[in-house]
Amino acid sequence: MSVAVTKKAIEKLINGYESDPFALLGMHETSVGLEVRAFLPDAVAVSVIDRKNGRKVATLERIHPSGFFCGAIPRRKRRFNYCLDIIWENAQGVVDDPYQFGILLQEMDIWFLAQGHHSRSYQCLGAHPAKLGNIDGITFAVWAPNAKSVSVVGDFSFWDERRFPMRLRRESGIWELFLPQAHLGDCYKYSILDANGERRLKADPYAFETQIRPETASIINTLPLVQPMPLSRQQANQRNAPMSIYEVHLGSWRRHTDDQSWLSYRELAEQLIPYVKEMGFTHIELLPINEHPFDGSWGYQPLGLYSPTRRFGSPMDFRDFIEAAHQAEINVILDWVPGHFPEDDYGLRNFDGTSLYEYADRREGFHPDWNTLIYNYGRNEVLNYLSANLLYWHEHFALDGFRFDAVASMLYRDYSRKEGEWIPNKHGGRENLEAIDFIRHTNKLLGVTCPGTITIAEESTDFPKVTLPPDEGGLGFNYKWNMGWMHDTLAYMQRDPIYRKFHHNQMTFGMLYAYNENFILPLSHDEFVHGKGSLIGRMVGDDWQKFANLRAYLGFMWAYPGKKLLFMGCEFAQWREWNHDSSLDWHLLEEPNSPHQGVQHFVRDLNLSYRANAPLYECDFEREGFEWLTVDDHNNSVFAFCRKDTQGNEIIVISNFTPVVHHNYVVGVNKAGTYQEILNSDSEFYNGSNVGNLGEIETITSAFNGKPHSLSLTLPPLATLYLRLKD
């Protein structure tokens, strides 16, 4: 709708209070013919050019000292495409007027966005290269329903908030503008006159690239092409496949030795990927790579959910890193943070002067543990923003799975809160019903839209049915971290072997609930920070015993039901607690035949044995895949069990958690024959004492522990053995 050109209307526009700049700017039909109006600060003279024939059809008059120009085009009644020939003080140029174009967002998109069902909202919102007619430019769209006005500012506007005010689509609260002056690589933000009359400069929530801290601007970029997920990568994520995950913080895995600067995505592709391949891991899990302002958050306080961090290179460099992993037949999982975001003023907090993305009440919307804000999961637009983010990373960056951070903090309104510091749900309970619905919706969306992609819950409570489908009342995750197993077994390993017999159940208790969920056994970054020490540092005894304990423990873990996750540095027993500001201690591997090399070689062989023997992984979540052979030998701290695959093949696993050699130790087995010792954590190849069974051992006919056959073994000290029936 056109408005008259008055001093009041002009000043409303230039002072940033106009929600419909198209009503004043651009081409308008008036009683005297067509009229063109433009706000061009610092312009000296402005002419209108007919794009069809290139002729000058009018000269505009400056009618306001701020730079508002207006002029009639006589004898022209029908709108036409035009551009503006502008003379500045020291330059001249022809530009396309952004206020000659119609609305951008289609009604169907607006409806889906409002309903919370737009699974790819990032295709509508944010900044996108576009072509309207034969004119190239960038479309901008941002949701800020309570703002009084919004303008896009950036390199293309000299960061002048007056130049490019946006149009409000009142039915959706979305502001939009097509800007021919903007180009790929330009930095930009949104200047928002908020509901309280305050001016805020905000980064784009949907920015595909963002400046590296301390700079905070968004950067115009394109979406990488969608690439389908091949069947081989889908199969690698299945419950009956081997899954050995190497958890990595890209900023501290390795650094340049001269100045301790970060490796780039390309350098990481050249160094990290071959290392993971050589070590036999099947998956990499990346700590969050979404852009974040504070290095010390390790990425867990993101403000650029759609932006790969620029710390290590461009978004396409990151995409190439993922492709390098896939070429090496390694799947990539992203640690994803839908539970909270930081309060930095350029981010989502009070985006339009109201609590738009977060709950308004601090008892619902503030995390006391992390001083962060909580997403309002009951708001449809927030639902779009978060759930679409998973499709974005999977489809455009080919990520194979997502680990949801801090799920417990999302599920419970009283998480880490005292009485009176939280608000019950509508039924009076402590569960966050909106967050539960969001999780179910997102997992179902990903499962239906992106088959083969997995989601993993870091969930530390006994919330039921975490890995059951939403249609069966579950949350819909594919896997859940087994935090209880991790805490129990680490507590056991920290005890002196002489006292372990009194805590035998810490190693066996996990089997009582092992089939309640689809579990991953995690030795994650959280266990090796904030004074907890390193994994090798948690082991007891002298140095030899520490390394032996660690190898025995990892051997036990790799054979225990559940997929595996190991944090970087643990695979070579780094002494020092993890520090995100420095490289891992790779120098520990420089000494030939060091115990650190022994652990590294053992982890590599663990992975190779694990992947080569289906009984160790195929039936992780079926009771038929596991059987205790020796479960109650408290005095000797010995555990023996059998793992089975669907074909009935077996691997016998025996762990001795005392520093004592047990000669003629009898273990009952199901099948007679010759058993090969396929892995021995005490081998000299791993810097062990090389006690064992000379490679293989025959069963004896006497029954034991209810089994028809038995093995009389030599059990090495602080060691784990894997035995396989010889063909």
User: Which residues, in sequence order, are bridge partners of residue 286?
Assistant: 248, 334
Q: Is 186 annotated as catalytic?
A: no
Burial of 10 (0-12, 13-18, 19+ CB in 10 A): buried
Catalytic: 632? no
Q: Which of 623, 143, 503 is nearest to 352 (CA)?
A: 143
Beta bridge pairs of residue 372: 367
CA distance 47 to 664: 100
Q: What is the 3-state secondary structure (H, E, C) of 528-559?
A: HCCCCCCHHHHCCCCHHHHHHHHHHHHHHHHH
Half-sphere exposure of 456 (CA within 13 A, CB side): 27
The crossing angle, in degrees rounded to 10, of helices 265-279 and 315-327 is 20
- Surface-to-core class of residue 724, CB atoms within 10 Å of its CB (0-12 exposed, 13-18 middle, 19+ buried): buried
Other residues' Cβ atoms within 10 Å of the Cβ of residue 88: 12
Residue ranges in 299-426 assigned as alpha helix (H): 315-327, 362-365, 380-397, 407-411
CA distance 588 to 276: 18
Beta bridge partners of 201: 191
Quick one: tokens of 711?
């093995």
Please tell me whether residue 273 adopts helix, strand or coil conformation: helix
Beta bridge partners of 325: none
Cα–Cα nearest to 603, from 569, 626, 634, 654: 569
Classify strands 167-169 and 126-132 as parallel, antiparallel or unpaired: unpaired
254 neighbors 274 (Cβ within 8 angstroms): no
Q: Do 722 and 651 meet the contact criterion of CB atoms below 8 Å apart? A: yes
Range list of H helices, 208-329: 231-236, 265-279, 315-327
User: Looking at 109, 209, 395, 458, which residue is catalytic?
Assistant: 458
Structure tokens at 597: 């090399």
The DSSP call for residue 212 is: P
Pairing of strands 283-286, 244-248: parallel
Phi and psi angles of residue 332, each rounded to the nearest 5 degrees, phi first? -120, 130
Q: How far is CA 141 from CA 105, 214, 275, 358, in A?
A: 8, 25, 42, 20
Beta bridge mates, 520? 481, 563
DSSP label of 472: G
Rg (CA), the chain: 31
Residues 639 and 630 sit within 8 Å (Cβ to Cβ): yes
The CA-atom distances, in angstroms, between 351 and each of 197, 278, 417 are: 13, 47, 26
How far apart are alpha carbons 184 and 142 in whole angstroms? 18
Q: How far apart are CA 457 and CA 466, in angstroms?
A: 8
**Diameter of the chain measured on Cα atoms:** 110
Q: Using CA atoms, how far apart are residues 662 and 583, in angstroms rounded to an integer?
A: 41
CA distance 552 to 681: 6
Nearest-CA neighbor of 73 among 95, 104, 47?
A: 47
Report CA-CA distances (Å) from 67 to 9, 29, 42, 162: 14, 22, 6, 11
Find the catalytic residue in 96, 405, 517, 682.
405
- Residues 285 and 520: their CA atoms lie apart, in Å, by 13
Q: State the Cα–Cα distance between residues 43 and 159, nearest whole angstrom.
A: 16
Residue numbers annotated as active site: 405, 458
